[in-house]
Chain A
Amino acid sequence: MDLKNIFNFKKDDIIAEKRTCKKCGKSTRYNELMANSMICPTCGEYMRMGAMERLEVTLDKGTFKEIDKSLKTKNPIDFPDYADKLDKAVKTSSLNEAVVCGLGKINGNKCAVFVMDSNFMMGSMGTVVGEKITRLFEKATHDKLPVIGFTTSGGARMQEGILSLMQMAKVSGAAKRHSDAGLLYVTVLTDPTTGGITASFAMQGDIIIAEPNALIGFAGQRVIEQTIGQKLPQGFQRSEFQLDHGFVDMIEERKRLKLTLSKILELHKPVNQ
């Protein structure tokens, strides 16, 4: 898989494009950034990765086979302006929904992978996101494959009302069956992982890894501040906070993630096969 296949526009355009680091303000060419796993070469800030970028740096070249790519969201509860929002999200993200699912290999280890993408309506989960992840778990259970999930999401998608909320239960059911079959599920929590995603499959991994300094929590920071009427402490709900409070197994640097994931996968390979 090369960059040209990942995106629906010309490779030259991407390479020429520059991105500005939110922390230090320096602009870096896209291909340089990608070669550096979307970490600012000047200040080391982790820029948010799209799903395709994440797959590019995580999976072995040419091994990713996407599943349910064409599944697109309609407007199940006729929410005002939702159809337009979806159209815009499809255009700006070059994706059909906020999660990309498929099968691939990590240093030769076969696995099922889902990657959420915050460029698509803040990675929020509606019925199609729930359905795609559920199907992936079901396929992985059937094929006896581990699941690696990269989360980034604002939570359940309000524009699909109660149906979005129910996806939390639906995915949990599929994750439970996968677990009951003795199969491995690893979640990688990336910035930001909040709301209904934290309160469901993000926290259901056998092993939970967080990227450094990712925002991970249930309630939104603004909501908590308004509720308690005070400012939140520095580092609240960040990866290091979650590690300190015992809710993630480890924090791993982005450039070491692939190696760490493959080590974990190798340690879980069936012994007699």
Chain B
Amino acid sequence: MLKDKKTTKAYEKVLAARDGKRPSGGFYISRMLDNFIEFHGDRRYGDDSAIIGGIGFLKGEPVTVIAMERGDTIDERMKRHFGCPTPEGYRKALRLMKEAEKFNRPVICFIGSSGAYCGIDAEERGQGEAIAENLFEMMGLKVPVISVIIGEGGSGGALALGVCDTAVMLENSVYSVISPEGCASILWKDSAKAPEAAEVLKLTAQDLYKFDVIEKIIDETDRTSEEICYELKNFICDEIAEKKKLTTEELLQERYEKFRKIGA
């Protein structure tokens, strides 16, 4: 389950975010949506089971949901390659977002994996291009996009579902430009120093809230995942209602400025 004790230590949060027992994307879909229908494939090459995408009702409103899913059993995890999306996953996500735009449905993204799938085949099919295309197109997507970091938000592979109007993080989720292990091995030639790296990377939800990179933190301590889902669902519904008051131009302008101000 989620952490039962409050922690401020960055690496404890990293471990909590990676915990195999922590709910993955599919869990939130099943608890928050009614009549969910899953859709498959990128219409280009294949289907990536690290990403679950589809449509359903969120409190009576049709929405498109795209979620990274790590899987529960070892077999399932191998099949879903631990929730690390391939280029097909990102292209499926973009296809479903474009479909959402056509039917004027808000988009909700759940992010939680160590990052984009790493392998020869992913490079052959343009992992970089797939992520780049998502960033580019999501900046202009004419419907509200809410992104929720539910576990580990691993670098560009997370951002590819993270160009949004409102970014939410669970209390013990993390979001980073590089894994603490990767950072430690570059910086100190020693990946065992990951706990130190986690601190200096400032990757916790609390850090990101301070940097104005995210808009909301959902508390986890002493709460069941059902209670967390309940608050998250209400928050997402409220945000969508707020964003729907805006004209398309206002929505896109606000999204542009949300990112434009970071490091300006």
Contact = CB atoms under 8 A, between A and B. Distances in A.
Interface of A: 76-77, 79-80, 126-128, 130-131, 134, 156-158, 160-170, 172-177, 179-180, 195-196, 198-204, 216-219, 223-224, 227-228, 232-233, 236-237, 241, 245-247
A161 B259 contact: no
Given A162-B177, A169-B139, A199 B186 contact: no
Given A76-B263, A200-B135, A204-B136, A162 B118 contact: no
B123 A169 contact: no
Given A198-B132, A218-B128, A219-B118, A161 B260 contact: no
A158 B132 contact: no
A165 B167 CA distance: 14
A223 B123 CA distance: 12
Contacts of A232: 120
A77 B202 contact: yes
Contact of B176 (A80, A134, A162, A201): A162
Q: Which 3 A-B pairs have the closest CB atoms?
A: A127-B263, A198-B128, A218-B128
A165 B207 CA distance: 14
Main DSSP-derived SS at the A contact region: helix
Interface string B224-264: 00000000000000000000000000000001100110111
Contacts, number: 165
A186 B246 CA distance: 34
Contacts of B194: none
Interface in B120-144: 120, 122-129, 131-133, 135-137, 139-140
A162 B213 contact: yes
Contacts of B55: none
Interface stretch (B18-26, B66-74, B96-104, B155-163): B155-163
Contacts of B200: 77, 79-80
A166 B259 contact: yes
B101 to A, nearest CB: 14
A235 to B, nearest CB: 12
B163 A172 contact: yes
A248 B139 CA distance: 23
B119 interface: yes
B211 interface: yes
A203 B139 contact: no
A131 B263 contact: yes
B135 A218 contact: no
Nearest to A180: B140
Contact of A130 (B136, B160, B263): B263
Contacts of A219: 116, 118-119, 122-123, 127
A168 B256 contact: no
Nearest to B263: A127
Given A199-B116, A218-B116, 9 more contacts: A127-B262, A158-B187, A165-B159, A169-B163, A199-B127, A199-B131, A218-B123, A224-B120, A247-B126
A131 B136 contact: no
B127 A173 contact: no
Interface of B: 116, 118-120, 122-129, 131-133, 135-137, 139-140, 155-156, 159-160, 162-163, 175-178, 182-183, 186-187, 200-203, 207-208, 211, 213, 255-256, 259-260, 262-264
A203 B129 CA distance: 6
B132 A199 contact: yes
B263 A128 contact: yes
A173 B263 contact: no
Contacts of A198: 128-129, 132
Given A173-B260, A217-B123, A165 B156 contact: yes
A226 B93 CA distance: 28
Nearest to B157: A199
Contacts of B187: 158
B202 A161 contact: yes
B208 A199 contact: no
Nearest to A198: B128
B132 A173 contact: no
B186 A158 contact: yes
A237 B135 contact: no
Contact of B135 (A80, A160, A172, A228): A172
Nearest to B129: A203
A195 B118 CA distance: 12
A166 B176 CA distance: 10
Contacts of B123: 217-219, 224, 236-237
A168 B159 contact: yes
Given A180-B140, A198-B132, A158 B118 contact: no
Contact of A162 (B127, B208, B255, B260): B208
A156 B156 contact: yes
A162 B175 contact: yes
A172 B122 CA distance: 22
A232 B120 CA distance: 8
